Amino acid sequence: MSDTPQNEQRPSSNEDMARKIMEKMQRDEESERPVRRRPQGSRPSGSRERPEGARRRPDGSRSSGERSRSSSGDARRNRSSSGKKSSGSRKRSDSDRRSRERAAERGSSKGVIIAVLVTLIILLLIGLGIYLFWFFHGMREAQDKFLPNTFINDIEVSNMNETEAYRALTRKSDDTADSLVFIKLDGSKTVIPFSDIGYKDNIKATITKLMDGQNYYNWNSAKNKRTDYTFDTAYTYDKVLLKSELKRRIIDASGKLEPKDAFVKYTNGSFEIVKEQKGDKIDESKLDELMTHVEDCFKHGILNIDLSEMDLYYQPKVLAADLEEDLESFRKMDRVRITFDFVYEEAELTGTEFMKWIEFKDNNALKGFTVNRDKAMKYVEGLAAKYDTYNTKRHFKSTTRGDIIVDQGRGNYGWWIDQEKMCDLVIKLIKEGKSKEKVQPVYYVNPNCGYEYSCDRKYRTAESDIGNTYCEVDLAKQHFWYYENGVKKYECDIVSGKPTEERNTPAGVYCLWLKQKNKVLTGSNSAGESWTTPVAFWNDISTIGVGLHDANWHPYFGGDRYKYDGSHGCINMPYSAAKYVYENVPLDTPVIMYW
């Protein structure tokens, strides 16, 4: 018989299902945690004994809790019983456990993949957010500006607003709007407002139109591609007003500084170029040229006009670059060497010396220079003191008296520098600035007869200018000699001038400088005497009318005849003697006469 009361009913199907679920959950829980052995005789944690004297229901049945516990107990008992009875059940349990472990591993891998995918999606969303922020921020920054790499009429306006683009297209660099700006030589500016000339243009309107037509979504891609816009500038203005303003504000208001030419300056013994200086005064005749230039600037949208780039100002006529040859020419003056020929030696004048005499006008060599005449004359006076022989005393070896000293007297012989004309020559040569050798000095010329106070070059030495070819007249002995190369060639008696104040023959050193045949001698003196005397041979030896000539009216020559029938100052000679002199004695031969 069964221990279960008769009236006890089977658990319902719902209860069976619930029990199976509970058992499965317990098995799963036990499989996932280590099994702990319980000491023998101990009771599982959480279990409790049924109190003694527990009662059944009046109808003999058990409560639902009891039934449940009974069922659970039965299940455990059945499981224990079945475990003891069959090892196959344990094998199935191990297999189930391994299946569960594999399923857990698959679930874990799937979770990792899902986590990675989620992370990637999040990163993509973040990147997209950053890009969108950067893109729209850049687009916002590009607003009201021209995109990068944008050109209008070949002028770059990248990243410029309308005002900046207008300044770029009109070449404006300041805040002066709607004006013509003129930049002067000194950098200062003169502004002519457009309102003063009735000016209007289409530049601003075109800039606004071009900017409004931009696609700002292309703000970044525009960096890699150039965008060009072109348009023709259209403008209007009053030409009469413009010309009037240019004259008033530019021409009439220009400076007063005149330009200065470059020049060559002589300072501290050397030449150097002083550069030209530009003035700030504008040539009034350039108004039309300025007007044309401004109109051309309007045409090309140029409103900043640099006046220094135009040929408006009065310009220096001489530029430093043009003076290099002049500078070299002036520098050569220091190396100039001029020599003057004085027969037995040359006198030298160097640039180093005469540069001290030069005075430049305004210290500018190009304006010419003057030679200080006093300094030049001092040099000439030095030449005269050294080389003049006229009007000097000479040592002479006479025929009958031996060595004597002969004064110049009224004679014309000797070298006599014309100092004024010689000074002129020196200054002229200095101004020419060229070296010259053996320049002939300038000697004095008698204005009455044209006689030049110079002598035969072959007679001149450092010691004497007479040499050994000469005529000698001893007035006291009334005798004449002619020596050629130291050899006496001819001699004769003579008749000199009557020894009175008006007719006396003066002693001195004379020069045979003129010969004439068949000359009529005429003259008069302070004593009231006059004469007209024809002669065959006239040998002029002075500038005062004294000469050597024939005098056939004398019955004899020499002795005391000169004292009572002497000449008017000439040396009267026999016809043959006068002819000999005329035919044999060369011109420039000195004639020494002494008492």
pLDDT (tens digit, 9 = 90+) per residue, 285-326? 888 999 999 988 877 878 889 988 888 888 888 889 988 988
Three-state DSSP state, 480: strand
For helices 64-85 and 13-31, angle between their N-to-C axes, nearest 10 degrees: 60
Cβ-contact 433, 329 below 8 angstroms: yes
Greater confidence (231 vs 541) lies with: 541
Residue 274: alpha-carbon gap to chain centroid: 14
Residue 92 phi/psi, 5-degree rounding, is -65, -35
Tokens 């400076």 found at: 255
pLDDT at 103 over 80: no
pLDDT at 54 over 70: no
**Average per-residue pLDDT for the chain:** 84
Q: Where in the chain is the domain with CATH 3.10.20.800?
A: 336-394+405-439
Among the CATH numbers 3.10.20.800, 1.10.1060.10, 3.40.50.261, 3.30.9.10, which is that of 336-394+405-439? 3.10.20.800
Binned at pLDDT 50, 70 and 90, residue 31 comes out as low
Binned at pLDDT 50, 70 and 90, residue 281 comes out as confident
pTM: 0.55
Pairing relation of β-strands 479-484 and 470-474?
antiparallel
Binned at pLDDT 50, 70 and 90, residue 37 comes out as very low
Residue 16 CA to residue 8 CA, distance in Å, equals 16
Q: What is the DSSP letter of 154?
A: T
Question: H or E stretch including 364?
Answer: none
pLDDT (tens digit, 9 = 90+) per residue, 115-139? 889 999 999 999 898 988 888 888 8
Q: Where in the chain is the domain with CATH 2.40.440.10?
A: 468-594
Residue 562 CA to residue 554 CA, distance in Å, equals 10
Q: Which residues contact 56 (CB under 8 A, 6 or more apart)?
A: 62
468-594 fold: L,D-transpeptidase catalytic domain-like (2.40.440)
448-477 mean pLDDT: 95
* % of the chain residues with pLDDT over 70: 83
Residue 10: exposed, middle, or buried by beta-carbon count in 10 A (0-12, 13-18, 19+)? exposed
